[in-house]
Amino acid sequence: MAKATKKQALGRGLSALLKDPEHDIKSAEDKNADKLVGHIVELELTSIEVNPFQPRTSFNEESLRELASSIKELGVIQPITVRKLDFNKFQLVSGERRFRASKLIGLKTVPAYIRIANDQESLEMALVENIQRQDLDPIEISLSYQRLIDEINLTQEQLSERVGKNRSTIANYLRLLKLDPIIQTGMRDGFLSMGHGRALINIEDPQIQLEIYEKILERSLSVRDTEKLVRELSGGDNKKPVSKSTNLSPEYKKGIKEFSEYLGTKVDIKMASKGKGKLIIPFTSEEDYNRIKKMIQSES
């Protein structure tokens, strides 16, 4: 009983802090900020605005209805996160699906963690947290990575540390943004996978990209079939290499895989006689060349 009374008193105290305009908390240095920031508070939905930095731009209506049904039955299990803007005014940092679903079933309040952050911090928090989600499509992830690089001024290495991904993985996602917008939309709608996109990026001509994209949809081509079609259209199957990759030693094959994953492009090895050979690193544009060059120089 004592525990319940203590919890209720804490709730009344936090509520009082939020509704006291004379002692409104605007920064982490303000009096009583430590009692509010980082705590779970029931906030009125009308006092919360959506985050303009939200990387997700589309929400599946059926999925939202399912979440709304779960919230109606069990409540909001995981609080949303907001940042304080002004007196009784907050902005979503993460949890927009929970926020939308709560509104859908007519809830008046929602449990929320309160943060005090500037626009840049809010953007970074929103992007990094959303990147960790499992249901983002490849283009949403790519756009989030690009925004962190452009708007937070992060290098690919710093971004790698922030999101816990290899630089090669980040590079592969960023390259998807070079695809024709129609193809990017197809990826967002689930008509083709990231593997398809990585195969198509090797075609520089946007018109040819679109032609292959149409063939993928018409024939339900797998990633492997798409890669083969890309090689055929780019003349790759007509060239006679000095040595096929299938004849390389396991050590060389392992090296090709590691180089390709790290650099985000299909690396190859051409062997000559007496153990000599060439390491071939293709690039699709001057920008791609500079990206690869920078990655190699950073390791030297």
The lowest-confidence range among 18-22, 141-145, 160-164, 218-222 is 18-22
Tell whether 201 and 291 lie within a shared domain: no
Tell whether 260 and 213 lie within a shared domain: no
pLDDT band at 4 (very low <50, low <70, confident <90, very high): very low
Q: Is residue 146 part of a domain?
A: no
Q: For 274-292, what is each residue's pLDDT tens digit?
A: 677 888 887 766 777 778 8
Tell whether 226 and 251 lie within a shared domain: no
Buried b (16+ CB within 10 A) or exposed e, 193-208: bbebbbbbbbbeeeee
Question: What is the average per-residue pLDDT within 92-117?
Answer: 86
Task: Give residues with Cβ within 8 angstroms of 105, minimum separation 6.
Answer: 68, 69, 71, 72
Tokens of 163: 């999101």
pLDDT value, residue 196: 93
* Number of structural domains the chain divides into: 3
More confident call, 244 vs 36: 36
pLDDT at residue 9 above 70? no
Of all helices (H) and strands (E), which one includes residue 278?
Answer: strand 277-280
What's the mean pLDDT when you consider all of the chain? Answer: 77
Task: Return d(Cα 100, Cα 250) in angstroms, integer.
Answer: 52
Instruction: Kindly report the pTM of this predicted structure.
Output: 0.47
Q: Is residue 88 part of a domain?
A: yes
Question: What is the average per-residue pLDDT within 191-218?
Answer: 90
Cβ 114 vs Cβ 75: under 8 Å = no
Q: Are strands 109-115 and 268-271 parallel, antiparallel or unpaired?
A: unpaired
Q: Are strands 40-44 and 109-115 parallel, antiparallel or unpaired?
A: antiparallel
Q: Is residue 124 part of a domain?
A: no
pLDDT value, residue 135: 67
DSSP reduced 3-state for 271? strand
Full residue range of the structural domain in which residue 281 is found: 245-298
The lowest-confidence range among 41-45, 222-226, 286-290 is 286-290
pLDDT at residue 221 above 60? yes
Task: Return d(Cα 266, Cα 238) in angstroms, integer.
Answer: 18
Tell whether 7 and 110 lie within a shared domain: yes
Cβ 230 vs Cβ 203: under 8 Å = yes
Q: Is residue 170 part of a domain?
A: no
Give the residue numbers annotated as catalytic, written as ranges: 96
pLDDT band at 222 (very low <50, low <70, confident <90, very high): very high
pLDDT at residue 42 above 60? yes
pLDDT at residue 269 above 70? yes
Tokens of 186: 């197809």
Cβ 93 vs Cβ 129: under 8 Å = yes
